[in-house]
Amino acid sequence: MSGLDIFLFGVFPYICLTSFVVGHIWRWKHDKFGWTARSSEWYERRTLRWASPMFHFGLLGVIVGHFVGLVIPQTWTEALGIHENVYHAFALIGGLAAGLVMLIGLVGLAVRRLKTPAIRLATTPNDKFMFAVLGVVIFLGLSVTVYWQLIEGGYNYRESVSIWFRSIFYFNPQISDIAAAPLLFQLHALSAMFLFLIWPYTRLVHVFSAPVFYLWRPYIVYRTRDAETEPGAALTPRGWEKSELPGQKTSKR
Ligand code: HEM
């Protein structure tokens, strides 16, 4: 284990995670009104309509896959009777499908941004940098899956990468585990850490204000205006009212 390994896998993750947490708090305190996805739906909808759901639903699949592969120990899935070969087959098919859907969505969003003049003008160097980093993380993730799991027939990262990943959160990083993993896994993990480092200073902050509670919002109750006498109906008429001259008799509606 070299000094570089210690820095990259034992120190750098903490720099990134500190930036992630402190950066979000700082951004919320100093830039509440800049806390937005800066939607460009107004300028172009045709591509956005398929590219955005593809990117976000693909991402959802990738998050679920990463949770199972990185957070849940192999011993737990084995205790449930899920053999490594079965896990591997599911991770390969599900991961590839979700990763490809996400990549196609990201390419669609990037092309739309470049091809629509108004959106191109509204794209800052910060956005371009964030898109590039996101693209590298996804590309390296897919390369890992295609090369190691499909072409090479499988590498059990749950015995190395996943152990290191969990150990970060116990504040006892198992550096030798990830240092022994193939280079592509290391590069993917490092690029993901870098994404977490820059996250709070980009438009990715919108993830924490996505209107998910909309799914559970109370029903909107519509009432007919004719039923003014029914219990609970609005008694005061809404909208424009006829203007009346002074002394004019109020007409009966
Ligand atoms: C430190 C954090 C991360 C680690 C340790 C990690 C690790 C891995 C591993 C081990 C795989 C191979 C999975 C398999 O083939 O079964 C993978 C694949 C992948 N990763 Fe990550 N990853 C991290 C963060 C991210 C992030 C933040 C993104 C995207 C924004 C991402 C996107 C992908 C994609 C698209 C794939 C290929 C599809 C898949 O197998 O899910 N990863 N990652």
Alpha carbons 106 and 108: distance in angstroms, whole number = 5
Q: Which among 47, 70, 51, 71 has a CA at the least distance from the CA of 59?
A: 51
Helix, strand, or coil here: 1? coil
Alpha carbon separation from 235 to 219, 230, 243 (Å, rounded): 21, 10, 19
Which residue's CA is the closest to the ligand 1 atom numbered 4?
189
Q: Is 178 touching ligand 1 by the criterion CB < 6 Å?
A: no
Q: How many domains does the chain have?
A: 1
Residue at 222 is within a domain: no
Closest ligand 1 atom to Cα of 134 = 30
Residue at 134 is within a domain: yes
pLDDT at 76 over 90: yes
Alpha carbons 39 and 29: distance in angstroms, whole number = 22
Q: Is 193 touching ligand 1 by the criterion CB < 6 Å?
A: yes
Domain that holds residue 134: 3-216
pLDDT at 253 over 50: no
pLDDT at 201: 95
Residue at 82 is within a domain: yes
Closest ligand 1 atom to Cα of 62 = 41
Closest ligand 1 atom to Cα of 13 = 1
pLDDT at 41: 76
In the structure, what pLDDT confidence band is assigned to residue 10 with cuts at 50, 70 and 90?
A: very high
Mutate to test the pocket of ligand 1, among 188, 191, 202 (most ligand atoms within 8 A of CB): 188
Other C-beta atoms lying within 10 Å of the C-beta of residue 157: 25
Residue at 86 is within a domain: yes
Which residue's CA is the closest to the ligand 1 atom numbered 39?
95
pLDDT tens by residue, 101-154: 999 999 999 999 999 998 898 889 999 999 999 999 999 999 999 999 999 988
Alpha carbons 26 and 6: distance in angstroms, whole number = 28
| H helices present in the chain, as ranges | 3-6, 12-30, 46-66, 74-79, 84-115, 117-122, 125-144, 161-169, 175-179, 183-198
Whose tokens are 């199972």? That residue is 68
Percent of the chain with pLDDT over 90: 66
Query: How many Cα atoms sit within 13 Å of 72 on the Cβ side?
Result: 15
Residue at 233 is within a domain: no
pTM for the whole structure: 0.84
Alpha carbons 168 and 4: distance in angstroms, whole number = 17
pLDDT tens by residue, 180-225: 999 999 999 999 999 999 999 999 988 887 666 666 666 666 666 6
Enter the tokens of residue 94: 């599900």
Residue at 122 is within a domain: yes
pLDDT tens by residue, 18-73: 999 999 999 988 887 777 777 777 778 888 999 999 999 999 999 999 999 999 99
128 C-alpha to ligand 1 centroid (Å): 22
Q: Which among 66, 72, 65, 17 has a CA at the least distance from the CA of 200?
A: 17
In the structure, what pLDDT confidence band is assigned to residue 78 with cuts at 50, 70 and 90?
A: very high
Angle at CA of residue 61, ends 93 and 19, nearest 5°: 125
pLDDT at 100 over 80: yes
67 C-alpha to ligand 1 centroid (Å): 10
Residue at 238 is within a domain: no
CATH code of the domain containing 32 = 1.20.950.20
